[in-house]
């Protein structure tokens, strides 16, 4: 991917995380980047193509940051990634923002977001299996789904209240609760 396409994706991601999928236009991106709107269309012929590229790029970056789930502190690292995202720019993650629009966004974007969710659950399932070897694969899968979905909701709650520390508190409490099972 060339530099201009990456700049467009970065701009679109920030705008989506600020106002949702329908909260930006190609014209706004072009103005922000001091390029012509036709340049945005050249790289991404449709808003759907751009939205999907944003989701795929976001997923790739996040998965790279996850690292190895076999480390004892892997789940704390995971929680830290969510917290850092909220602290750094005050916005919930892309998946959380777009999940509220799931019934209205294009199918290809919804599929890209499902992939983000599935990759997170799969990684967390492995991390819970390492942390709790006595748990069955199904117990680890359920814990992963609970943890991921709870963090997504906690991130929205923390952003709404402008209290990023709520995300950490909720995540740590949830880990304690899940470990008592």
State the residue for tokens 């790029």: 57
Report pLDDT for 32.
96
Domain ranges of the chain: 52-179
pLDDT of residue 67: 84
Closest residue by Cα to residue 56 from 128, 126, 5: 5
Q: Which homologous superfamily does the CATH classification assign to the domain defined by 52-179?
A: Tetracycline Repressor, domain 2 (1.10.357.10)
Q: Show pLDDT as tens, one digit a residue, over the chain (181 residues).
A: 799 999 999 999 999 998 999 999 999 999 999 999 999 999 999 999 999 999 999 999 999 999 888 777 899 999 988 888 888 877 778 888 888 888 899 999 999 999 999 999 999 999 999 999 999 999 999 999 999 999 999 998 888 888 888 999 999 999 888 887 6
State the number of CA atoms in the 13 A half-sphere of 25 facing the CB: 6
Question: What pTM does this model have?
Answer: 0.89
Q: Give the pLDDT confidence score for residue 121 in this predicted structure.
A: 97
């Amino acid at each position: 991917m060339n530099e201009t396409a990456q700049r467009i994706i970065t701009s679109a991601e920030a705008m989506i995380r600020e106002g949702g999928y329908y909260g930006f236009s190609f014209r706004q991106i072009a103005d922000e980047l001091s390029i012509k709107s036709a340049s945005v269309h050249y790289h991404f012929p449709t808003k759907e193509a751009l939205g999907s590229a944003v989701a795929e790029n976001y997923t790739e970056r996040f998965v790279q940051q996850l690292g190895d789930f076999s480390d004892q502190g892997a789940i704390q690292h995971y929680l830290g990634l969510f917290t850092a995202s909220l602290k750094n720019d005050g916005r919930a993650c892309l998946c959380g923002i777009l999940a509220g629009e799931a019934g209205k966004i294009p199918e290809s974007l919804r599929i890209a977001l499902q992939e983000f969710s599935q990759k997170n659950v799969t990684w967390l399932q492995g991390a819970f299996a390492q942390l709790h070897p006595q748990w069955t694969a199904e117990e680890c899968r359920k814990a992963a789904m609970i943890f991921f979905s709870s963090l997504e909701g906690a991130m929205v709650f923390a952003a709404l209240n402008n209290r990023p520390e709520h995300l950490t508190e909720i995540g740590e409490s949830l880990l304690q609760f899940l470990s008592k099972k």
